[in-house]
Copies of this chain bind each other. A is one copy, B any other.
């Protein structure tokens, strides 16, 4: 935890002192060896002492919570380069499991926090990561709160497309490493609804299946429109009066 950082003993700084100053947050992790996890294997569990911060180096991780009756909510999928366990205090708020075979680097919280104290340049980078995490969480709240099944699936596909090849996923293929159940638990739907929605998108020629876990995006514009994010300019103008009524009921 950050609060212990500035009172750290010298011995905790040893590793850091020997290492050159990292230029980027990610480089902190280069010193430690990589650990491997098989698909389905757990990395840590909700409620565990949050001793470590992780950097995914290969593969995909799912992060989730369980509530009554065993209902599961996947709050995110993490890809190579993503950091896990940043915005935590003493306990993990969620569990993490490997979706695919995963390799990751583990850094104890203490040296991580010490590095942040020692090298101020790292702090904005750290902060930016946390902000991204927050922004993602907010988008997910929007999705879960107000989007239809179709919009949810479209948004998810768009998200993966963007992650895999920048902002112009035209005609590109996307790979869905996770099961339909994972998707469902991420999108707040059931596997059946996810499956049906995908079928519908395929039928309309928006995407085209290339095996069960790969799709080609045939109509990226259409897919974007289906996300329901309403970021087109005309839309904004057209709905202004209606919005005012809805937003400011006073």
Contact A188 B1 (CB under 8 A): no
Within 8 A of B (CB), among A38-80: 39-40, 42, 64-73, 75
Q: Report yes or no: A70 in contact with B120, Cβ–Cβ below 8 A.
A: no
Cβ–Cβ contact A6 & B120, under 8 A: yes
Task: Report how far A31 CA is from B235 CA in the complex, Å.
Answer: 41
> Contacts of A120 on B, CB cut-off 8 Å?
5-6, 117
A142 touches B97 (CB 8 A): no
Proximity bits, A212-250, B CB within 8 Å = 1, else 0 = 000000000000000011100001000100110011111
What is the CB-to-nearest-CB distance from A1 to chain B, in angstroms, rounded to a whole number? 7
User: Is A70's CB under 8 angstroms from B243's CB?
Assistant: yes
Chain B, residue nearest A239 (CB)? B70
Residues of chain B within 8 A (CB-CB) of A249 are 40, 179, 181
- Would you list which residues of chain A between 186 and 203 have a CB under 8 Å from chain B? 188
Name A's B-contacting residues (CB within 8 A). Answer: 1-3, 5-6, 39-40, 42, 64-73, 75, 87-89, 93-95, 97, 117, 120-121, 123-124, 127-128, 130-131, 133-135, 137-138, 140-142, 144-147, 179, 181, 185, 188, 228-230, 235, 239, 242-243, 246-250
Q: Which residue of B lies closest to A97 (CB)?
A: B247
Is the CB–CB distance between A142 and B73 below 8 Å? yes
A239 lies within 8 A of B131 (CB):
no
Q: How far is the CA of A72 from the CA of B230 in the complex (A)?
A: 12
In the assembled complex, how far is the CB of residue A149 from the closest CB belonging to chain B, in whole angstroms? Answer: 13
Q: Which of B68, B75, B243 contacts A228 (CB 8 A)?
A: B68
Pairs A–B under 8 Å by Cβ, sample size 5 = A2-B127, A6-B121, A73-B141, A137-B137, A141-B144
Give CA–CA (A247, B63) in the complex, Å.
Answer: 11
Shortest distance from the beta carbon of A119 to any chain B beta carbon, whole Å: 11
Contact status B131-A87, CB under 8 Å: yes
> CB-CB < 8 A to A89: which residues of B?
128, 131
